[in-house]
Amino acid sequence: MPTSIVKYTGSLRTEAVHSASNSVIITDAPVDNHGKGEAFSPTDLMATSLANCMLTVMGIKSSTEGITPIDGAIAEVTKIMYQEPRRVGEIHIKINFPKNNFTDKEKKIYETIAHTCPVAKSLHPDLKQVLTFEW
């Protein structure tokens, strides 16, 4: 079974359906690239997926290792586009953790996870991943 089915619906918009859950994601081309910008662009989703992955893997580590949970953590994602060729050149993510008195060891664990999550390791090494952690 495919992971998802993506349909081009016209006017630079797509609709993706997750096969296992039937969840739907709509994308639009961004305003600076001929689109309406009424939804996430495909590159917005890529940048956002990096933060989703980081937080998810941190949550897994918290539950499997019994370390201080990150519930309520918020990641602010900024995507920076480069030209010639047009591509995502940088993704800046600032993760704001809840005030849970994390130990220095836990902070190191979570920071390592952020830098090595599956999406982070799947992106091209030329793409700059700039991470900031607010404890």
Q: Which residues pair with 78 in a beta bridge?
A: 92
Helix (H) or strand (E) holding 89: strand 87-96
Sign of CA dihedral 129, 59, 68, 94: positive
Give the chain's domain count.
Answer: 2
User: Are residue 55 and residue 121 in the same domain, yes or no?
Assistant: yes
User: Are residue 101 and residue 70 in the same domain, yes or no?
Assistant: yes
User: Are residue 49 and residue 102 in the same domain, yes or no?
Assistant: yes
β pairing state of 128-134 and 87-96:
parallel
SS3 72: coil
pLDDT digits (tens, 9 = 90+) for 39-97: 999 999 999 999 999 999 999 999 999 999 999 999 999 999 999 999 999 999 999 99
For 58, what's the count of Cα atoms within 13 Å in the CB-facing half-sphere? 27
For 19, the domain range is 4-33
User: Are residue 60 and residue 113 in the same domain, yes or no?
Assistant: yes
Please give the backbone phi and psi of residue 97, each rounded to the nearest 5 degrees, phi first: -90, 150
Q: What does the mean pLDDT of the chain come to?
A: 97
User: Are residue 78 and residue 128 in the same domain, yes or no?
Assistant: yes
Instruction: Kindly report whether the global pTM for this prediction surpasses the value 0.75.
Output: yes
User: Are residue 70 and residue 99 in the same domain, yes or no?
Assistant: yes
User: Are residue 48 and residue 29 in the same domain, yes or no?
Assistant: no
Provide the percentage of residues in the chain whose pLDDT is more than 70: 100
pLDDT of residue 108: 98
**Residue for token digits 């700059």?**
128
Tell me, what CATH number does 99's domain have? 3.30.300.20
pLDDT of residue 112: 98
